[in-house]
Amino acid sequence: MQEIIIGAISLGLLWAVMTIGVYITYSVLGMADMTAEGSITLGAAVAAKMISSGRSPIYGLLLAITCGMAAGLCNGILHTKFKIPSLLSGILTMTALFSINLRVMGRANISLLRMPTIFTPVSDMFNLDKGSSVIVVGVLVCAGIIALLYWFFGTEIGSAIRATGNNADMVRAQGINTDTTIILGMMLSNGLIAMSGAMIGQSQNYADLQMGTGAIVIGLASLFIGEVLFGKRSYFIRLTSMVFGAIIYRIIIASVLRLGMPADDLKLFTAITVIMALSLPNIKKFAQGKRRSLSGGQ
């Protein structure tokens, strides 16, 4: 059981980076960006291709982030300049990325067995097993991302991105180009998602063309679990809650699999989890209203 929990925590930390990326588009910009399913595979594909070609894992990770940002740039241009609705532009970009990812990989999957990854130096330096080294790197990466985003969204540009999601008309009235802020937000989001894919691929020792299927739902499930459990009290807490939400989601998945749930039912379980997380605030309001009406009647 301990190995299962360690595996769930390590994988949850890597998926937390993807969850933060989904948070930027869904919660900050108020858009449902389907590009995530293509960007996470793109990150894994680019990193795996670089590593299998003998390049440094760090170089592969940085190139994966750059390619993810490029995917976000394309989606942002389709949405802002060509006036394509965000949902449709995301679907179009995701569809195009399927062919691009296949071109990058050259085949359906790339194995990274017995090849160096970004976790190898930590494992060698501290004599840790694979799961523990992934946790160490995951904690450092998540802490760094949270600190950088907390700082960035406090700057003038970051505040403009946040304000665009809240009230785009007000932002335009202040003379700020909302097209630019939306594109920057999408680039930042998809860069993080591709980074998550690159780390997940190296953790699992392979990159697969289908690994992004359902990624947006997993990201949203982790996001909602974090918000329901930790609330929306401050921006720092919201960013931190994404990490804990992703870890808790992975622990839940590992637990239900251990209890005997067929792996084929995981997509259904994830969808139900999202529905419950979305419905919980309304259920609470309904229950509170019932209690007030009953106490008033007495």
As a whole-number percent, the residues of the chain with pLDDT over 70 amount to 99
| Confidence label for 187 from pLDDT (cuts 50, 70 and 90) | very high
pTM: 0.94
Q: CATH topology for 2-267?
A: ABC transporter involved in vitamin B12 uptake, BtuC (1.10.3470)
Of 266, 41, 271, 6, the C-alpha closest to 128 is 6
Q: Rounded CA gap, 170 and 108, in Å?
A: 46
Which residue reads 């691929």 in tokens?
A: 201
Residue-wise pLDDT for 24-38, tens only, equals: 999 999 998 999 999
The structural domains of the chain, with segments of one domain joined by +, span 2-267
Q: Rounded CA gap, 241 and 249, in Å?
A: 12
Which residue reads 């939306």 in tokens?
A: 182
Mean pLDDT across 132-144: 96
Residue-wise pLDDT for 52-62, tens only, equals: 999 999 999 99
CA dihedral 267, 280, 250, 23 (to 10 degrees): 90
CA angle 84, 88, 91 (to 5 degrees): 135
Q: Rounded CA gap, 227 and 219, in Å?
A: 12
What mean pLDDT is reported for the chain? 92
The residue ranges of DSSP E strands in the chain, in sequence order, are: 109-111, 206-208
Mean pLDDT across 5-28: 95
pLDDT value at 298 more than 70: no
